[in-house]
Structure 1
Amino acid sequence: MHSKSDVTLAVDAQQGSHRRMEVFLTGGTGSIGSAVLKRLLDENARIVGLARSDASAEKLRALGANAYPGDLRSPESWVSRAAACDAVVHSGATFSADMGRVDRQSMLALKKAAQHRQQPLKVIYTGGVWLFPQTTSRNVITEKTPFSPLPAFRYMTETIRTLSHGTDMNLAVVHPALVCSRNFGPIAEMTDALKKGQPFKTRATRDTLWPLVEVNDLADFYARVLQQSRFRMSLIASCIAGISVGHLASHISARHGAPLEIDTTQAPEETDPETDWSAGYALSQKVDVSHARRTTGWQPEHSTIEDLVVTLSK
């Protein structure tokens, strides 16, 4: 387990003493955001979570955060509160047809609200490996690789460029690999298919390479990024640089003593590329894992595929 001595989320007060860092979190009840929330609380941070509904507010409070009412679609209701915190972690998304517009509108409103601060606002923006191009067997994606996003995520690259300009914010962009837990992500989905005696349907082929990251390791990475004094950076968070889907399936098959077939599917003809959020599974990508670890001191607990499969395959 991670110890609290690994990361200390505190800020210097005027007299040189330390106080708890206050972090505003969007998407705190989501798959990534809830893990980040728990990790930051473990590091004694104070969390203010954006709550779109009473049910979301109850979930946030149950996890130990303070709930602040608001909606990504109406940023004027919450950006002032967010800008008053020490940092903002943006992991929320609507996954609706207007997701890009909503995201850009909310981040521009936050940038405007941050103009009134004495010090630049620390912001962690969640990107993703699907903002980068497909790789070949000879190259690896690094943080310096030019963006080539899928249409559904093109808005992210535009928002990142906008937020990077000016002095209102200290922006760090975290690009998670394919996130895995016991309940969601490729390993959970493949395991579920195997247990049902069904093939695993995916946009990938057996030769497609997937970079992977375990969700709690990813949450630890966010905590370590918040700790950094140098904050203007872009970092790829991946435990596994790239494993073929066929190789991953063979590990899961060996774990459960039954074969898992891969069924490569295509998107329906009527699928709109602008809302095709599953297209990234067809991308074959291998990423550099060294820069993020070197920059933050991150040492993910699940750094081998054997460990990932044993831990996450129920």
Structure 2
Amino acid sequence: MRVFVLGGTGSVGTAIVRELIHRGHDVHGLARSDVSAQKLAGLGATALSGDIASPGQWIGTLPRIDAIVHAAGDFSPAMGEIDRRLLDVLLPALAAQPNKPRFIYTGGCWLFGATGDDVATEDTPFRPLAAFAWMVPNLQRVRDAPGIDGIVIHPAMVFEPTGGVFRRFACDARERTAVRVVESEAVRWPLVHSEDLATLYALALERAPSRSSYIGAAIEGLAVGRIARALAKRFHTPQQAPQIISTDDIAAELGEWARGRALDQRLSGAKARRELGWMPKHLDPEADIAAAPE
């Protein structure tokens, strides 16, 4: 398939582009800079110059495609409005394509709110973090749009041994006397490695029914204290016990979106395993951290 990827140079998008090319797909990606274009070319993808914030400037150059993966976004206060304007332009253009394209839209685990000991599934009602409430009508719009096959993936917290959602912990472990965690060591995060998540996107692209949705959680929920302590041990941080900071502190430092770091969640990826044959490989983050290079 010819697949157009939005956000193909981000940490998740890069893994998706790499996986799609490995599986033989013809991948095109949006690049808002020469550096991004060079990165896409280095992965084996074809770059289309443009920015998601100005879709009218590049939508006319969009080639014939069979599918699109939307993994783009930032954490600015304008992200909801940017996404809405993007869909205003993109959905009619996709509906006008010769073939009915597939559209994989990225939701997120923070749309389900705090679950506590309950395990959220695709049937669990949304209780979104306020900073991401805009995503609910947008993903419903994609799933219901005529002329496309809309599919939604809700990634868990995406990690790499010292990157992704672990990057901040790793920086603290290297540079501070203690690793900071929000609210409590006992807060649980559902997790998925970027490579496993990329495989899920590829499987959804190839196999998922129209209007379906999948939670990309390889690990239902792991206490953040275990992650922080594993990184403190790996990088010989002076204080092995985490430093607890408040939700207000993290929001003041990073933005309102960062309140999601305090959500105690458990999410199930069973549907993706059952229906798509998804088999995540990275199921022991602590072991991955212990083996990470310094």
Normalised TM-score (structure 1): 0.84
Question: Deviation of residue 26 (structure 1)?
Answer: 0.7
Question: Deviation of residue 253 (structure 1)?
Answer: 5.0
Match of residue 30, structure 1, among 1, 7, 10: 10
- The match for 1:286 is 266
Q: Does 2:43 align with 1:63?
A: yes
Residue type of the partner of 1:88?
I
- The match for 2:27 is 47
Pairs within 5 Å for 1:2-41: 21-41=1-21
Find the aligned partners of 1:312 and 1:176 in 2 and give their Cα distance: 23
Pairs within 5 Å for 1:103-252: 103-137=83-117, 139-228=118-207, 230-252=209-231
Find the aligned partners of 1:214 and 1:229 in 2 and give their Cα distance: 21
Give the 3-state SS of the residue equivalent to 2:68 in structure 1. strand
- The match for 2:256 is 276
CA spacing shift, 1:110–1:270, aligned 2, 3 Å? same
- Give yes or no for contact 1:201–1:264 (8 Å, CA) kept in 2: yes
Residue type of the partner of 1:178?
M
Find the aligned partners of 2:162 and 2:186 in 1 and give their Cα distance: 25
- The match for 1:99 is 79
Find the aligned partners of 1:234 and 1:99 in 2 and give their Cα distance: 22
Question: Deviation of residue 80 (structure 1)?
Answer: 4.7
Question: Deviation of residue 289 (structure 1)?
Answer: 2.1
Higher mean C-alpha deviation, range 39-48 or range 73-82: 73-82
Find the aligned partners of 1:44 and 1:84 in 2 and give their Cα distance: 17
Question: Deviation of residue 192 (structure 1)?
Answer: 3.6
Give the 3-state SS of the residue equivalent to 1:104 in structure 2. helix
CA spacing shift, 1:250–1:98, aligned 2, 3 Å? closer
Unpaired segments ≥5 residues, structure 1: 1-20
CA spacing shift, 1:313–1:133, aligned 2, 3 Å? farther
Question: Deviation of residue 77 (structure 1)?
Answer: 2.8
Pairs within 5 Å for 1:286-305: 286-305=266-285
- Give yes or no for contact 2:3–2:28 (8 Å, CA) kept in 1: yes
- Give yes or no for contact 2:179–2:228 (8 Å, CA) kept in 1: no
Question: Deviation of residue 201 (structure 1)?
Answer: 1.8
- Give yes or no for contact 1:36–1:222 (8 Å, CA) kept in 2: yes
Find the aligned partners of 1:270 and 1:221 in 2 and give their Cα distance: 30
Find the aligned partners of 2:54 and 2:183 in 1 and give their Cα distance: 37
Residues 187-240 of structure 1: CA deviation (Å, up to 9, x unaligned): 343344234352222324111011111111111111111111523211111121
Find the aligned partners of 2:224 and 2:249 in 1 and give their Cα distance: 24
Question: Deviation of residue 244 (structure 1)?
Answer: 1.1
Find the aligned partners of 1:169 and 1:262 in 2 and give their Cα distance: 47
Question: Deviation of residue 183 (structure 1)?
Answer: 4.4
Higher mean C-alpha deviation, range 182-191 or range 36-45: 182-191
Question: Deviation of residue 268 (structure 1)?
Answer: 4.8
Number of residue pairs matched by the alignment: 292
- The match for 1:10 is none
CA spacing shift, 1:270–1:310, aligned 2, 3 Å? closer
- Give yes or no for contact 1:83–1:110 (8 Å, CA) kept in 2: no
Alignment identity in percent?
34
Q: CA RMSD in A?
A: 2.5
- Give yes or no for contact 2:250–2:258 (8 Å, CA) kept in 1: no
CA spacing shift, 1:193–1:73, aligned 2, 3 Å? closer
Question: Deviation of residue 185 (structure 1)?
Answer: 2.9
Unpaired segments ≥5 residues, structure 2: none
